Structure 1
C-alpha cells in the first residue's frame, strides 16, 4: 500500500476513483488475510492431515491412488483462479479447458501420493517432466505459450495449497524412515506440472489465438457508487467461494462418516475454521479483484509512459519483494516448514528467499514487457539452473523450493502484478498475450532457485558447525552447572 501511495503522489499520478478503490481493496485484503490464516490453520490443515492419515490406514493402493485422482479433480475445479485462466483462452471451450486442467492435477496428485508411499526421489521426476514440458513448448504457438506456463501457478492457489500440503503430511505419517518428513513436501510441485502439460496439449489440438480485453469498471462519480462497486461484487464471490469450498467440505464429510468419526469438539472446531476460511477468501478476493486490478493496470500504464520507462524494472522488483508477503498460502507453507523441520529452516529465512526470488522475477518480467523478449529465453535457463541445483542440496530443500513456486504465484500476482505488466505492455505498444502474460510463470520459477541457494548455504553452515571441537559446548555447560549447584545436587538430579 505504502509503495503504491508514494508512487501515486510522486511520479505516477492515479485518478481519485482508482485511489479510493485501491485503499478500500487493501483494507479488505488485510481483513481477509487475517480470517483466512486463522481458518486455514484450524480447518484446512487438520482436514488434509486426517484425510491423508485415513487413506493410508486402508492399506489399499488402488483406493489411495483413485481417491487422490478424484480429489485432485475436485479441488482444481473448485479453484476460483481457474475461471480466469479459462477466459484467457477463448479458442478452447471453457469446460474443456477446466476439465483438462483438473484431470492433469488429478493425475499428478496420484503420482505425488505414490512417490510418498514408495519413497521415490522427487528430483528425477521433476527433471523428466520438465524436459517433456519444454519439448512440447517448442511446438506450441507463441500466443499460447505464456498462458500455458501461467496455468501451473494459477491452479495451485489459496484454496488448494493448505489442503494438498496437509494431505502430504498425513500420507507420509505412516512411514518411519528418516526421509518421510522430507517426502511430505513436493505435492504442490508435482500438481503444478499437470496444468502446464494439459494446456500445452490442448494447444496442439485447438487452433488457438491470443485474445485480451482489459477489464475496467465504469467511471465512478461519487462515494456511493464506490460502495455499490464493492457491495455488488461481494455476492458474486460469496457464491464463487461457496461453490469452491463445497466439494472439499462434502469430501471431508464422507470421510468423517465412514472413516474418521472425529469427536464433536474437534469437528466443531474444523467447521468454525471453514467459516473463517470462507469469510477470509470472500473479503480477500473482493478487495484484490475490485481494488487492485484497476490500480495495477493504471500504475503500469503511467510508469511505462514516462520518458524514463526503464524505472519499471527497479520499481517492479521493489513491489515484487513485498507483494509475496501478502500471498495467503505463503504463510501456510512457512508454518508447515518450520514445524516439520523443528525450526532448522526458519520461516523468516524462507520469506526473505521468496521475496528475493519474486523481486528478480518481476524485474525480468518488466524487461520482457519493455523489450518483447520470448518467455522461453528466461524459463529454459531458469529451470535448467533450478534442476541442476537439485544435485547439490538436501532432498527437503528441493521439495520445499518447488512447492514454494506454486505457492508464491497466487492471487496477489494475478490481481496486481499481471495487470501491472498488462498496463505497461499496452503503453509501450507491445503484444499483451505474448509479453505481459508469463508473469505468473516467472514468479513461480525464481523461488525454485533462491530456496535451493538457501539450501546450499545451509549445507555449508552445517559443514562449518561440524568442524568445531566435539563436546566443547557440552563441557562448557557442565562446568557452569558444577559452579552453580555443586556435585551432590547434580548427581541427585
Structure 2
C-alpha cells in the first residue's frame, strides 16, 4: 500500500498542474459549460488513480517480464529463433496497443485490419533490427540516418494529405502498453551484450517508432486512397450530473473490454514463453500476476478518464481560444499546456526511471523530464502556429529531423538513444485525447483544413524532444569537459586529496 500511495502522489503532482490550468482558463477567457468542466474533473480523478495503479503494475509485471524475455532471447544459440520470437513479440505488443485501433478507425481509406496488421509487421521487423543492432554493436545514429532518409524518400511518392497520418502513426503505436514492455526488453537484451554500454539500453522504442511511419506511407502509395481524411472524434456532451455519471458508467465496461483484448496477446505469449522456458519462479509469477491486475485496472481507469473527461475539454478550449479576436493567445496557451501535460503521460515516468537506474543517476531524472517538457511545449507552439497560418508540416518535420540527426554526432550515444526513445514516449494517450481535439477545435474555429493543419500534432510532439534532450546531452558534455580540464590543471596533491574526500 505504501508503494501504491507513492505512485498516486506522483500521479497527483503530474496531473494537478494541467488541471489547474484548465480551471483557470475556464474561469477567465474560455468559460466552459458546467457539464464539460465536471466531466473534466471526474476524468482527472480517474487519471490520477489510473496512473498510480498502472505505474505500480508496470514495475511489478511489465518490466520484469520484458527484461526476462529480452535476456532469454539473446541467450538462444540459433539466430533464427531469436529473430522469429522477436518479430512475434513486436507484432503482438503492437496489436495490443489501444491507440492503434483508434488510428485504424480514423483512416477509412484503408481497411482497419489491413492497417493494423501492416503496422504490427512494421514494428515487429524493426524490433528485429533493434535486436541485431545490440547483437552486432551497430551505432544507433547510422541506422536512424538511413531509415529516416528512406522515410523522406517515401514522402516524395505519398499523397500530401497522407503524410501527417503516417507521422502520427509513429507516435500512437508506442503507447502505454508498448513502451514499458519494449524498454524493459531492451534492457534485458543489453545486459547480456558484449559491450555493456549504457546506450545499448536505449533506442528500442526509437527504432520501433519508424516501422509504423514507413508502413503507413507504403500503404498510402499502394492503395492510392482518394480520401485520406480522418473520421471525426465523437465528443460526449453532458448537461446534468446524471449525464456525467451515465457517460462514465456506460463507457467504463467498454474500455475494460478494450484493455482486456489489448493485453490478451501479451498474456498468451508470456504464458507460452513461461511454459517452455521456465524463466520465472512461482513467487515471481504470483507477483507478475498481481502486477498485471494493477496494470489492467490502471489502464481502464486512465483511458476512461482521458477519453470521456479530457477530450471534450480539449476541443472546447481550442475552439474558444481560436474564436477570440486576439486568437494569437492560442500559441502561448498551447505551449503552457504542452509543458505540463507531458508530465501526465504514464510512459514518461517509465523512461525517466529507466534513465536514472541505468545511468546510476549521472543523467538526472529531472533534467530529462524538463528537457522533455520544453520539447513538447515547443511542439505545441509550432502546432498552434500551423493552425493559425496553414504552414505545411514538412517545413518543420524535415529540418527538425535533419538537425536531430546532425546533433547525434556531437553528443554521447546514450543521449541519442534517450532522445529518440522519448519521441515515442511523449506522444501518448493524452496527446491523442486532449491536445489533438484541442487542435481540431481551434482549426475548425479559424476555418482551416483539419486534415493538413490540425493533424500532425502527434508528429510534432514526437519530434521536438529529439532536439531538446540531445541539447541537454551537449550541455552536459561541455560542462564535463570543462570540469575535467579544470581538474587536470590542479596540482596532483589537491586531486589526490579530493579523491580521498569523495571516498
- TM-score computed with the length of structure 1 as normaliser: 0.95
Measured after TM superposition, the shift of residue 472 of structure 1 is: 2.8
Q: Does 1:462 align with 2:480?
A: yes
Relative to 1, partners in 2 of residues 1:371 and 1:473: Cα closer, same or farther, differing over 3 Å?
Answer: same
Match of 1:60 among 78, 89, 103: 78
For the aligned residue pairs, the C-alpha RMSD in angstroms reads 1.5
1:93-492 to 2 correspondence within 5 Å?
Answer: 93-179=111-197, 181-208=198-225, 209-217=227-235, 219-467=237-485, 468=487, 469=490, 472=494, 474-476=496-498, 478=500
1:479–1:298 CA distance, 2 compared to 1 (3 A): closer
The correspondence for 1:79, drawn from 97, 104, 127, is 97
Conserved? CA contact 2:404–2:467, under 8 Å: yes
Q: Which residue of 1 aligns with 2:9?
A: none
- How many correspondences in the alignment? 480
Shift of 1:211: 2.5
Q: How many angstroms apart in 2 are the aligned matches of 1:434 and 1:405?
A: 21
Q: 1:219 to 1:411 in 2, by over 3 A?
A: closer
Q: Return the offset for 1:58.
A: 1.7
| Alpha-carbon distance in structure 1 between the residues aligned to 2:89 and 2:442 | 39
Runs of 4+ aligned residues of structure 1 deviating over 3 Å after TM superposition are 212-219, 476-481
Aligned-partner Cα distance in 2 for 1:221–1:362: 30
Does the 8 Å contact 1:50/1:260 carry over to 2? no
Report the secondary structure of 2:30's partner residue: coil
Q: Which runs of 5+ in 2 are unaligned?
A: 1-18
| CA–CA separation in structure 2 for the residues paired with 1:404 and 1:187 | 11
Alpha-carbon distance, 1:312 to partner: 0.4
**Structure 1 unaligned regions, length at least 5:** 482-493
Partner of 2:31: 13
Q: Secondary structure at the match of 1:107?
A: helix
- Measured after TM superposition, the shift of residue 23 of structure 1 is 0.5
Larger Rg computed on CA atoms: 1
SS in structure 2 opposite 1:192? Answer: helix
Deviation at 1:56, TM superposition (A): 1.7
Distance 1:454 1:471, change over 3 A: farther
SS for the counterpart of 1:11 is coil
Q: Is the Cα contact below 8 Å between 1:293 and 1:416 reproduced in 2?
A: yes
- In the aligned structure 2, how far is the partner of 1:335 from the partner of 1:27? 24
TM-score normalised by structure 2 residue count? 0.93
